[in-house]
Structure formats: structure tokens, C-alpha cells
Chains A and B, each alone.
Chain A
Amino acid sequence: MKYKKNKKAQVQMTENVIILFIFFILLVFSIVFYTRLQTAKIGDVSTEKAEMDAIEIAQKVLSMPELQCSVQGAATPDCYDFVSVNATASAMEKNPDLVNIYSNIFKFSTITIQKIFPEKDEEVFVIYDKKNEELQDIMPTYSPIILCEYSQSNFGYGQTRICSFGVLKVAVYS
């Protein structure tokens, strides 16, 4: 009788040990899963922040009075004065310290403008470029823009506006 009771107790003991073992395995799995999830979430939050920065910078570039073009004093949406773009790009190239003037606004990013149509311009105008070696590039943001040039009218008075299709690319480093 005593032997039978002992055997039953032994079986229950083994069962308890197995259940505790499975329980701890599950606990370890859940901790690993939760940690990975949190790490991924932290990564997502930083990517999201960088993406928000990219949108914010793109919006700021699109409304820069230094580059915007206007008709009779009124700014045209998504329109850039090509002469100003060209002048800004060459000034930035000649004097890289100019980047510091805009670094509070554009942070670590590269902003370029390229003419696409009627003639695709191989030259890419870099209007801001501040890289950080430690930071990686994220997916760039593209915006279609109008690039306008003004030329003297054939009749000798007034100006003719010729506009091309261009692309503004903003790459933020995060």
C-alpha cells in the first residue's frame, strides 16, 4: 500500500517537474519575443522620426522664399526660379561653409534638384548637403516641382516665362 502511494507521488512529482520545465521554456520564449518586439519598436520609432524629419524638410524647401518663383509678386505653388536654384547650388559648391547657415533648418540631409523634362538635365543641383559619417541614409523623399526661367520677350519688352518639369529629392540622414 505504502509502495503504491510512493509510486503515485513519484509520478505526480515527475509530472510537476515536466510542467515546470515547459512553463520556464514558455517564459524564456515570451521574454525573448517581447525583447525583440521592443527592439523592433524602438527601431520603428527612430525610422518614423527620420521620415517625419524628411517630410518637414521637404515642406520647408518647397516654401523657401530664396528659391520660389512668383508672378507679379504672388508665389506660385511648387515653383522654383531656376536662376536662383543654379546660383544657390554654385554658391554652396564654392563656399561649403554656407551649409551652416541652413543647418538648423535642414539638419543632416542632402537636397537636390534635377530637371527632367523637356530635356533631362544630367546636372543635379545640390542646394544643401550636410552628411554625418555615423548616420545612414534613409529612403529619399521625392516631390515634382516646376522650374521656371525668365527670358526677354522677342518683342523687346516684357519677359517670357519658360517652365520645366523638375524633381526635388530630400534624403535625411538618421
Chain B
Amino acid sequence: MIGLAIIVILIAFGMFFIIRFSVSDQQESITKTVQVKELPKNFLNTLLYSEAGCEGSSATFTRLIGDLEDPLSSSLTCGGKSGEDLFFYLNETLSDLLSQTLGEWGHNYELLIDFPDTAPIEENEIRITNICIGDQKDSSHFPFTGDYGMIRVVLTICH
């Protein structure tokens, strides 16, 4: 009887150790954590200083987003689109760029461009997402002043 009791205790110990080690093995790798923490800031910084691909102009994405507050008065023509169509251009371009980079690197993301309520546009925000689910989220905010108030660009990476 004592022998059986010892075996039961040993099995209980064994189970405890197996559960303990399998739980601690679920930690994320250091690279992923460090990369993901820095990535939204680096990505937004790079994106907003890069050329937006507009014809006859070296306008950056910051300029293009700024112009979208009042697209009808914008002088930019990007990808053959001008005026209110610049919204579609920006949406398509950013979607492609995000899927070619963050998407290919295996990240879930959400990009939000929030225009001030006073801006003369139909939709006050652009939201590009690829199912941003997960407990941990790292965001970077890039606010800048436009003609009608504060424009917010927020990139969130979920993991």
C-alpha cells in the first residue's frame, strides 16, 4: 500500500513538472518582442517621410495626407488620380505597401488616419486592417497639424 502511495505521489510530481514546463515554453521569442515594440514607430517614421509616388512632384505621404483634408483644392495627381479620388489612391497604395511589408513579415496590423471633424470631406477616417486580434498591441501615434486641425496617423501591430 505504501508503495502504491509513493507511485501516486511520483506521478503527481511528474504531471506538475510537465504542466509547469509546457506553460513556460509558451513565451515569445526575444526577437519578436523587440522587433514588434519598435516596428510601429519605425514604420510610421519611414512611411511619412517617403515619397507618395505622385506625378511631377516629390510629395511625401505626409503632404498627401495633409492635402486630403481638402482634396478638391489639392494640386497633386497621384497614380492618375486627383481631387477626391486621391482617397482611393492613398487607400490602395497603403494597403499594398502594408501587405508587401508587415503582412509578408507575418504581422497583424491596423492603420488609422483620422482627419479633423471640421475638414470638408465625406469620410473623416481611413482604416486599413488585416484582422488585428491578439492580447498584445503596440501602437505608434504620429499627429501633425493640417489646415483644419490635428490629423492623427496611428499604426497598431497585434501579436
Contacts and interface: CB of A to CB of B under 8 A. Distances in A.
Contact of A37 (B3, B10, B21, B93): B21
Q: Main SS of the interface on chain B?
A: helix
Interface string B29-42: 11100110001001
A52 B7 contact: no
Interface string A57-89: 000000000000000000011110000000000
Chain B, interface size category, equals 20 to 34
B148 interface: no
A90 to B, nearest CB: 24
B126 interface: no
Given A23-B6, A141-B35, A47 B29 contact: yes
Interface in B41-64: 42-43, 45-47, 49-53, 58, 60
B19 interface: no
A121 interface: no
Contacts of B3: 15-16, 19-20, 23
Contacts of A145: 46
Interface stretch (A26-34, A100-108, A123-131): A26-34
B73 interface: no
Interface in A90-110: none
B60 to A, nearest CB: 7
Interface in A152-174: 160-167
Given A19-B3, A26-B10, A48-B30, A167 B101 contact: yes
Interface in B108-151: none
Given A33-B18, A37-B21, A163-B60, A142 B29 contact: no
B30 A117 contact: no
A156 B97 CA distance: 34
A10 interface: no
Contact of B50 (A51, A160, A163): A163
A76 B46 CA distance: 10
Nearest to A77: B45
27 contacts: A20-B3, A23-B3, A23-B6, A23-B7, A23-B10, A26-B7, A26-B10, A26-B11, A29-B14, A37-B21, A51-B31, A54-B31, A55-B30, A55-B34, A78-B46, A117-B93, A118-B52, A118-B53, A120-B100, A142-B101, A144-B42, A146-B46, A162-B51, A164-B51, A165-B47, A165-B50, A165-B97
